[in-house]
Chain A
Amino acid sequence: MSWLGSLAIYLALYVALVGVTMGIIAARTGSRRFLHATRFATYTTFGAISVASMVLIHALLTHDFSIKYVAAFSDQSMPTFYLLGAFWGGQAGSLLFWIWKVTLFTAICVYTNRKSYQDFMPWVMAVSLAVAAGLLVILVFGSNPFEGYHLIDDPTQGKGLNPLLQTPKMVLHPPALLTGMASMTVPFAFAIAALLSGNLSNAWVEAARKWILWPWLFLSIGNILGGMWAYEELGWGGYWAWDPVENAALLPWLTSTALIHSLLIQERRGMLKRWNVGLMIGTFLLTIFGTYITRSGLIESVHSFAQSEIGPYFLNLLITVTVLSVALFIYRWKALKSEQRLDSPVSREAAFIFNNWMFLSMTAVVLFGTLWPRIKEGLTGQDIAMGPQWFNRWMIPLGLLMMLMMGIGTIIAWRRANWKNFQRNFIIPIAAALILTPLSVGLYWVVRGQGLVSPDSLDASYAIIAIALCFFVGATIVQEFSRGISARRRMHDESFGESLYRLCMKQKRRYGGYIVHLGVVFAFVAFAGNAMKIEKDVSLAQGESVQIGDFTFTYQGLSDQHNRERVLYSSSVQVARDGRPLYEMHPGKSVFHSSPNMPVSEIDIRSTPLEDVYVALVNFDPDGRRAAFKIFVSPFTWWFWFGGIILVLGTLICLWPTRESLESLRPGAGGIGRAAIFGGVVVLVFSPMLVWTVESHTSWGDSRRLEEAPVAALTDAPSEASPVQPEPS
């Protein structure tokens, strides 16, 4: 079957190159014939990549170990779900998946715009196909997923997927992130098409605005899932470590967030034309740069399993795209002049511009922190590390300023703010922040915080400022919604729920955006709680207790269980508060036979909106009499995941198709169907939260989920003592 896969990717490369040529001809001559052919070239490229992907999936599912990729990333014992994950679990497969998404989004974009933007659709197709062709060159010549063994060394067993990656969140995190990065090609193609065609009006902005939300959504989901994975699997107790590869995924997210806001200003006032084109090019370059960092092994990180030989190919692609797009940008520099000037520094335009600077500063900080250790090492040979402290020192104040601008930007007046605008829009949020902050902080201190937290003064002041800003921004959002709802109810005689629904449906972008902001507010609650996090490494003898915050942890014992794939060591820890036993926790470690040097932590987390209790088994005596744990008590972490869900929901509202756009897909799409789909999406969006809660409160989330009825064939399990050596203390 591998011949079909290879044939498909060669065909895709050929058709993509032909498509680029035809697209350019169509754009230069306005020929319908070539336009039609280019359109179908994008569909064909997508089809051919789909064939290749299906061949690979089929090979994975049927354990066709004659293909090197299948042998390297799967084995026969893996369940189907993880076999699918192996599609993007390795280098060549993830690249194929990336190209698949590039062509998928291009094909969807071409289909939905088959009747509009005729003057630059040929350019859009040519640019997207050129990007796909560039990636296909890497795939075909750098790492072909269909490379096979010579008949003679055909293995009968696969090596299996890295055990760290065998969790449901890890199966979903890479494709979400890759989809986000890949779909950035479409808005980029619109920007380049505008530069190429010389049509620098707002047309490309209108066209690209819809398309930039998709990559943004997928990047958000990918980063949140990655955070969840790190939190649950890696055992250092946090969801974000400023790891270079995490940063690489964050960079395009930051710039595209800035871009989504500045496009709004261009659409409304004809300002920031250069800024937007530049930001779009920069965002796209950062997605390629991120892949380059991950793939080249340029920078060491927790993602070292993704390293490979195709780094130089990506560097070439990066340089080519940079040179071409920057040259084009400079060529059109004069034509991209603003239509308007900034009227006043106290206006919505100014607030948005300032907010953009915040995002760009954050991007610069993250980029510097990611690259500087490497540059410095190259220059002086000195090995330095930029730890989370360094990032936090910069990112916390910038984040708080960003939050302030988020509140102000929602309610300040366009062009020039005046006293009336201030009275009407600012008084309630400011009052809410001033009253509710001391109230809630005091209440928390009395009810819960006293026995739990002892933050230092800087952390505490940051946390309090963050909470105050959360109330401020939250109040602006509530105010906007209540005004909208009361305006509707005055005019239409609707119930509260009805007018809320119609408000979101009639002005999706505006109210969807506010809901996204609300998600960010919740995330900031979690960041504030992070300042109060307690972290302890303890070594406990059986029956010994330790006090952390107002919790008492007692180590009760260790059990082990052997099966065909792994040995599972599961400990039991009793958690009590004020002398009352609350629950038992079961952190563990599993050691896979396929990779005995890489034990995987099975962390137990008890997550509630007030705080997370997080216990990781670090090390243990072979006889189980003594064990070392890493224990965290982190207030409000739950709100980060909740905020993430709200953010995704808000973005989906922004992206929800209008009746007209549904009509353009399929005439006669009905209203009931739409409502049903929307309800389904809401349920789906909230389902991770449900899973999170269930995992946190039942045995599904700790090491016990892996325990099964003893397998009869224990003979092949190794009988040595724990391969995890006790730490020398």
Chain B
Amino acid sequence: MRLTLRIWRQHGPNEPGAMTAYEVDGISPEMSFLEMLDTLNEELILRGEEPVAFDHDCREGICGACGMVINGQAHGPERTTTCQLHMRHFSDGDTIDVEPWRAAAFPVVKDLVVDRSAFDRIIGSGGYISAPTGSAPDAHATPVPKPVADTAFEHAECIGCGACVAACPNGSAMLFTSAKVVHLNVLPQGQPERESRVLDMVGAMDEEGFGGCTNTGECAVACPKGIPLQSISMMNREFLRASMKGGRS
């Protein structure tokens, strides 16, 4: 396959950037999107040019490190992470636009790499439990009903890639924050911090400069892990409940 890539190039955080066109040839349909970028980077290095910087780690779709907006869609046309997107979903001769996540709370570090430490600070504000859970056999000491376990697991699937923020027209982190809040708030082990968790995490989210939710639903469409849109509604309920209770548990 022969492709034209238009990639956002930006040398540093406060430097101007621009979409730059590159041609790549010899791309096989079995390659992942990141392998295609590797191919481009090898050529760039041989030509003595600066390779395109992008985040990646496991390349198995489970770590959440990679992520870029491909043709206007977070993680591209398939519902998966960029590393698990394969070139068979593109055609020979295509022009592909590649941009970093765009959000005030996710400043560009270089090219396609953005600083997602805002997510870490949201987690730090309440995405934990204080109850000792012991080792594997002890975990069974606290019975968890199956529907609750299913809900918790569904939300625990969030890998924090940031596609929800990238896809949201408001650059909102509601889907990410709600996945974390719901995951822990439904479990018995999460009850001691049930109220403070949701209030603190929503507070931290607002402080980072993410936009608000307008229920456009674009986040849930982009999410590679299928976190449901109603996760946000469940967090809203937790937030209003905690506010009514006067805040602290």
**Do A and B form a real pair?**
no
A residues with a Cβ closer than 8 A to B are: none
